[in-house]
Chains A and B, each alone.
Chain A
Amino acid sequence: MKKYLVLPLVLVMAIVASCTKKQVTNEKVLNVSVPQKVKGMDPIFASDRYSNNEVAKIYEGLLEYHYLKRPYTLVPNLAQDLPKVSDDGLTYTFTIRQGVFFHNDAAFTGGTGRELVAEDFVYSLKRLADPKLQGLGWWLIDGKIMGLNEWREKYANADKVSYDEKIEGIQALDKYTLQFKLTKPFPQFLYALAMPFTFAVAKEVVEHYGPEFINHPVGTGPFVLPKFEQTNRIVYTKNPTFRKKTFPCEASEEFKAEGLTADCGKQLPLLDKIVVEILIEDQPRWLNFLKGNIDYVGVPKDNFSSAIPDSKNLSEDLKKNGVGLLISPSLDVTYTAFNHDLDLFKNVKLRRALSLAYDVSQSNKLFYNDTALPAQSVVPPGIAGYMESYKNPYRSYGEAENIEKAKKLLAEAGYPDGKGLPEITYDCPAGTVSRQVGEFFKKQMEQIGVNTKVVQNSWPELQNKINKRSVMMYGIAWGADYPDAENFLQLLYGPNKAPGANGSGYNNPEFNSLFVKAAIMQDSPERTALYEKLNRIAAEEVPWIYGVHRQSFVLKHAWLKNYIATDFDAGQEQFLNIDVEKKAELSKKL
């Protein structure tokens, strides 16, 4: 007789539980949405924007960008100060901040996180170089740190990599002193130390979880995630043992004027919780934003004209609800890359023909509401190396004569009217807009008789295909890791070939040797001239079909505080704040 009582009881309990849950709390929750699946939470594999941003919530590096300063300025994060640099510019000595603890985790003895020491960075950088792991950020420090390449090569064919072996270039001089010795000048070195690839992981945790480490992030950062699962929702909570780190009081004038220093001196992070929702499609993201379920959102192309009717100001409807608009040019470039491993695409005339067949102004109109800047080459405006008046000769704006030129080039390449060409596959991420971009590409290529096929992949799948070189052409974008043209030009540097950042595998000896020269130069007019020369080669050799440099249009709700547009948004969440009362008040209206 007792058996069937269980069911009503459970039901009652469930009802009670759901009632209590609905009570308004003062918990500060940030709700964000990302448009693609996240690969995982291991810093050395965080090669794309989406995993980058997730990794940076948990892990930290020696340096970071000052949140409220423009131009972008590096400030110490896990380091106590900026490093002491030797006169020859090759030795960097850091003092590690004391009293920084890893998150509590079962991997540590007693379950409490231990203090971060200089040795952790030695370990983390070796891990990035580990030949067995094939970290995706190796290109960043390849050939630049004394002894590291030798160490990598020594263990390339060994069964086990020895982390105990001392390397001259990265040494922990004592518990809190870390020294780097470089093989040659590397002006971007400090930027590299602000990138998630070089963030600190703990040896115990890596060894404890083994291959599952990618799903068990344990860092020193402001937020905690006990386990990462490939679901559509990631929930982070505030790190209760986070060190003393406060909201910056200094700011550039523009940010001071906007009152962004209101939280000055407050302990970080300001949020209690972050909920990251993976929404691949634009419409659900947009509707969730309008309902107040997401705190900020990039404006989808199809909602652009109703949200921002004159391309500058918000519509009255949105303004009324306290929504704010942030417009800023992004340091990025979109492109369609050729896989240069294929003999087919070694033919420069073919590449030029395809580039000329692609109407960039039409694509700007259809996909960016005519707000982007057609790219002439790889370097975006805003950094030295960009040439304002330069026009790529193989760039088409839909002119009929360019189609004729493309056809002529195609014939010269040995494929008159596309005859003799195989079907070219075009790989792109999942989602309706990506498919439309693919269809547009297909349509453009059809004009000159080139037959293409659009293949959609999940984001991790696409990355994997590019790294394995099993693509023909693919559409993707690159956002700056640091404000230096070198970060864009290295995308075409032969030795950076995938799994490095050069996914297309372009390899041009002339370009390579000029790049090597420029890469070791400090900022100077000579370096800018060299960058420009490289940029010009990158335009005329058409290693990719260039797309555009985008402008970002972000809408945010009034209750979201301290949100600013930045090109380096990894780690941004610790500075964000939610005005809970305002949210309660405004949400009623939505």
Chain B
Amino acid sequence: MSTVVKSKSLWKHAFEQLVSDRMALMSLLIVIIYSLVAVLSATGLLAGNWADEMGPSYAAPSGEFLFGLDIFGRSVLAKTIKGTEVAMSVGLVTALISAVIGIVLGAVAGYFGGKVDEFVVWFYTTFTSIPSIMLLIAITFIMGKGLVAVYLALGLTSWVSLCRLIRGEVIRHKDREYVHAATAIGGNDFRKLFKHILPNVLHIVIINFSLTFQTAIKSEVILSYLGLGVQGRPSWGTMIDDAKLELARGVWWQLAAATLAMFVVVLAFNILGDALRDSLDPKLKGK
């Protein structure tokens, strides 16, 4: 008697491993909750009234005001939620922009090699030699301040590491037998690159995506703290900026709320990124 064991795909395997890791599962859950909060806040279902005056200026946390009130008597909880929307959207858009640039440039450089490769390598080497915070500030100065500028500034400064990885992987893959097989049956460059090679390096993108996501959240907070980030709406960065003055009067809740919110999501993304790496990277299989 022999039972036919259906072989699992890489993805199914990875998913099972991820689910069996309780920390990773928790992190995934947290990320989902944050995303949900962000979507609900963007649609106005949650914290739509963040700008309203709920009570006296700087009311302390209590049963009525869970996280206390800010200088204008606005709910810190609502501001934190609204800040989640900004943070998550910045994380998502930045990670998307950086993934697109990183994949395209990395894949093209790795696959075609030669002059194209030299150019791309030269380009990202030059690019990374500029300190990223300077570049961020320069871009926000050119674009003007605001959410779109933050998206672009962060997206344009965070693609290099992914580009490097993809290029290296594509170089390794392009002489593999399956690629030669694809050549033999008449596949063109585009097809070989995107249909055959790319799926085999996609795990790198996913791992990188989750790490870029949390880096972008942190950078947005820093930019907003410096007054270069989002304008006219709450962000964790501006909340921390406010807090540096308020601490002198003993108003700690705005700092606590913003830092806590940021801490939890960044930690979750880090753990998730690690777990994804463990389960997706074939080199770590069975260890």
Residues of chain A at the chain B interface (Cβ within 8 Å): 281-283, 286, 300-303, 305-306, 365-366, 430, 432-433, 435-436, 439-440, 442-443, 446, 453-456
Contact = CB atoms under 8 A, between A and B. Distances in A.
Given A435-B238, A439-B232, 5 more contacts: A302-B245, A365-B57, A366-B72, A453-B232, A455-B145
Contact of B241 (A301, A302, A432, A442): A432
B71 A454 contact: no
Contacts of A439: 72, 232
Q: What 4 A-B pairs come out closest when comparing CB atoms?
A: A302-B245, A302-B248, A303-B248, A302-B249
B72 A432 contact: no
A281 B57 contact: no
Contact of B232 (A281, A286, A365, A454): A454
Interface in B139-186: 145
B225 to A, nearest CB: 10
Nearest to B225: A432
A534 B245 CA distance: 40
Interface of B: 51, 57, 71-72, 145, 227, 231-232, 238, 241-242, 244-246, 248-249
A286 B51 contact: no
Interface of A is mostly: helix
A365 B145 CA distance: 29
11 contacts: A282-B245, A302-B245, A302-B249, A306-B248, A306-B249, A432-B244, A435-B241, A439-B232, A453-B231, A454-B232, A456-B145
Given A432-B241, A443-B51, A454-B231, A300 B71 contact: no
A432 B231 contact: no
A440 B72 CA distance: 7
Contacts of B232: 439, 442, 453-454
Contacts of B244: 281, 283, 432
Contacts of B242: 432, 436
A434 to B, nearest CB: 9
A120 to B, nearest CB: 41
B51 A446 contact: yes
Nearest to B243: A432
Contacts of B231: 453-455
A302 B231 CA distance: 23
B245 A432 contact: yes
A283 B72 contact: no
B245 A366 contact: no
B55 to A, nearest CB: 14
A475 to B, nearest CB: 15
B248 to A, nearest CB: 4
B227 A302 contact: no
A125 B73 CA distance: 52
B249 A443 contact: no
B74 to A, nearest CB: 9
A440 B231 CA distance: 13
A453 B241 CA distance: 19
B227 A435 contact: yes
Contacts of B57: 365-366
Contacts of A435: 227, 238, 241
Contact of B71 (A283, A430, A436): A436
Contacts of B227: 430, 435, 456
Contacts of A306: 248-249
Contact of B245 (A305, A433, A446): A433
Contacts of B245: 282-283, 300-302, 432-433
Nearest to B249: A302
B72 A286 contact: no
A286 B241 contact: no
Contacts of B249: 302-303, 305-306
Nearest to B250: A306
A458 to B, nearest CB: 10
Contacts of B71: 366, 436
B275 to A, nearest CB: 39
A455 B228 CA distance: 10
Given A365-B57, A454-B231, A300 B72 contact: no
Contacts of A301: 245
Contacts of B145: 455-456
A303 B244 CA distance: 12
A32 to B, nearest CB: 21
B268 to A, nearest CB: 29
Residue with the highest number of chain A CB atoms closer than 10 Å, among B57, B246, B248: B248
Contacts of A446: 51
A286 B247 CA distance: 13
A119 B242 CA distance: 53
A268 to B, nearest CB: 37
A303 B238 CA distance: 20
A365 B57 CA distance: 10
Contacts of B246: 302
A454 B229 CA distance: 12
Nearest to B57: A366
A443 B248 contact: no
Nearest to B244: A283
A283 B241 CA distance: 11
A440 B145 CA distance: 19
A365 B238 CA distance: 21
A433 B71 CA distance: 11
B248 A283 contact: yes
A116 to B, nearest CB: 43
B226 to A, nearest CB: 10
A306 B251 CA distance: 13
B141 to A, nearest CB: 11
B114 to A, nearest CB: 42
A436 B71 CA distance: 9
A261 to B, nearest CB: 37
A303 B250 CA distance: 10
A454 B145 CA distance: 10
Contacts of B51: 443, 446
A77 B72 CA distance: 49
Nearest to B238: A435
Contacts of B238: 435
Contacts of A365: 57
Contacts of A302: 245-246, 248-249
Contacts of B241: 432, 435
Contacts of A455: 145, 231
A300 B246 CA distance: 11
A282 B243 CA distance: 12
Contacts of A281: 244
B171 to A, nearest CB: 41
A282 B238 CA distance: 16
A451 to B, nearest CB: 9
A544 B80 CA distance: 35
A426 to B, nearest CB: 10
A453 B144 CA distance: 12
B271 to A, nearest CB: 33
Contacts of A305: 249
A424 to B, nearest CB: 12
Nearest to A307: B248
A282 B244 CA distance: 9
A455 B149 CA distance: 14
